[in-house]
């Protein structure tokens, strides 16, 4: 397996690469991860089952879009593919260090610039991609309320129903979400899509974001998720608002947007997130 990956790195970089050091790293709940080195150059490698290659291909595409925005730092994607037994994604290796308040402030500013970087008339993405292991449908829509209600909340509820986990009538929930968002037609921003504390780090005082699930949508969805699982420092939001202040009504929409991630966590991890997702959904529908 490893000689195939080394060969692909050599092909992608135009430089012969032979692995002489391979170090296991934390890979999260989904992937195995390794640092590879030939003594001069280091790479970060994710591994999964061979059937998961589409997940890595989608991540490659998202990272490439973020890089081309020239607004913030992401690990440069090097190559992805398959071996006889596995799929892999090779990224630039970055060494992370501690951040101070100024670093977080600048990350907030950079995220705002990312959200301003495209003039996209519709919501969606050129292909379906992945949020964790879940397929994330991205068919283009002109109305934000329709896109989010159907392709985010409705989709997750349908995945859960296939597992005999129900949160009420799906069509009624979709209709309720549409009504909450019906008068909100935001600019379609390039989004990270999975922006929690675990997908942010710092390298030489520069904020780095990774593990994206990009699409074009409401910038508030990225901000909302930064408040869901371990809120970012206050100065991050100050930096963001200094560039592009959040609109009135964000606090009400935040729970709707974070419901998507809670439902996805129920799909991934089950019971530990069920009550939190149920309570959130019932509060939204009742409001």
The crossing angle, in degrees rounded to 10, of helices 234-243 and 101-115 is: 40
The pTM score is 0.95
Same domain as 34, residue 53: yes
Catalytic residue among 194, 211, 218, 222: 194
49 catalytic? Reply is no
The distance from CA 287 to its chain's CA centroid, rounded to whole angstroms, is 28
Among residues 41, 58, 92, the one where a domain terminates is 92
Considering the domain architecture, whether residues 24 and 134 belong to the same structural domain is answered as: no
Considering the domain architecture, whether residues 265 and 209 belong to the same structural domain is answered as yes
Same domain, residue pair 120 and 63? no
Residue 180 domain boundaries: 101-286
The per-residue pLDDT of the chain, averaged, comes to 96
Residues 78 and 157 in one domain: no
144 and 227 belong to one structural domain: yes
Residues 79 and 169 in one domain: no
CATH number, domain of 216, equals 3.90.1200.10
Asked whether residue 206 falls in the same domain as residue 280, the answer is yes
Whether residue 83 is found in the same domain as residue 165: no
Number of domains in the chain: 2
Which of 92, 109, 144 represents a domain boundary (last residue)? Answer: 92
Q: Is 249 in the same domain as 109?
A: yes
> Residue 47 is part of a domain; what is its CATH number?
3.30.200.20
Q: What is the 3-state secondary structure (H, E, C) of the chain?
A: CHHHHHHHHHHHHCCCCCCCEEEEECCCCCCEEEEEECCCCEEEEEEEEHHHHHHHHHHHHHHHHHHHCCCCECCCEEEEEECCCEEEEEEECCCCCCCCHHHHHHHHHHHHHHHCCCCECCEECCCCEEECCEEECCCCECCHHHHHHHHHHHHHHHHHHCCCCCCCCHHHHHHHHHHHHCCCCCCEEEECCCCCHHHEEEECCEEEECCCCCEEECCHHHHHHHCCCCCCCHHHHHHHHHHCCCCCCHHHHHHHHHHHHHHHHHHHHCHHHHHHHHHHHHHHHHC
Q: 271 with 212, same domain?
A: yes
Predicted pLDDT at 241: 98
Do 165 and 253 sit in the same domain of this protein? yes
Q: Which of 40, 71, 92 is the last residue of a domain?
A: 92
Q: Along the 287 residues of the chain, how does pLDDT read in single tens digits? A: 899 999 999 999 999 999 999 999 986 778 999 999 999 999 999 999 999 999 999 999 999 999 999 999 999 999 999 999 999 999 999 999 999 999 999 999 999 999 999 989 999 999 999 999 999 999 999 999 999 999 999 999 999 999 999 999 999 999 999 999 999 999 999 999 999 999 999 999 999 999 999 999 999 999 999 999 889 999 999 999 999 999 999 999 999 999 999 999 999 998 889 999 999 999 998 88
């Amino acid at each position: 397996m490893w000689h195939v990956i080394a060969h692909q790195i050599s092909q992608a970089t135009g430089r012969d690469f032979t692995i002489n050091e391979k170090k296991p790293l934390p890979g999260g709940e989904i992937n195995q991860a390794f640092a590879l080195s030939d003594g001069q150059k280091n790479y970060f490698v994710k591994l999964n089952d061979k059937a998961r290659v589409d997940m890595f291909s989608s991540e490659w595409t998202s990272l490439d879009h973020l890089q081309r925005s020239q607004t913030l730092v992401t690990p440069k994607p090097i190559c992805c593919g398959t071996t006889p037994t596995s799929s892999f994604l090779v990224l630039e290796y970055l060494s992370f260090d501690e951040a101070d308040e100024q670093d977080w402030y600048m990350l907030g500013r950079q995220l705002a610039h990312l959200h301003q970087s495209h003039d996209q008339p519709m919501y969606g993405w050129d292909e379906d991609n992945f949020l964790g292991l879940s397929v994330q449908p991205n068919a283009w829509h002109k109305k934000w309320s329709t896109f989010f209600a159907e392709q985010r909340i409705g989709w997750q509820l349908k995945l859960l129903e296939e597992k005999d986990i129900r949160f009420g009538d799906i069509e009624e929930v979709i209709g309720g979400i549409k009504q909450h968002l019906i008068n909100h037609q935001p600019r379609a921003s390039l989004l990270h899509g999975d922006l929690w504390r675990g997908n942010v780090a710092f390298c030489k005082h520069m904020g780095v974001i990774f593990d994206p699930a990009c699409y074009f949508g409401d910038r508030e969805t990225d901000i909302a998720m930064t408040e869901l699982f371990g809120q970012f420092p206050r100065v991050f939001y100050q930096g963001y608002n200094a560039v592009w202040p959040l609109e009135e009504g964000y606090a009400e929409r935040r729970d709707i947007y974070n419901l998507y991630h809670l439902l996805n966590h129920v799909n991934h991890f089950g019971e530990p997130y069920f009550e939190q997702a149920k309570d959130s959904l019932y509060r939204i529908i009742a409001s």
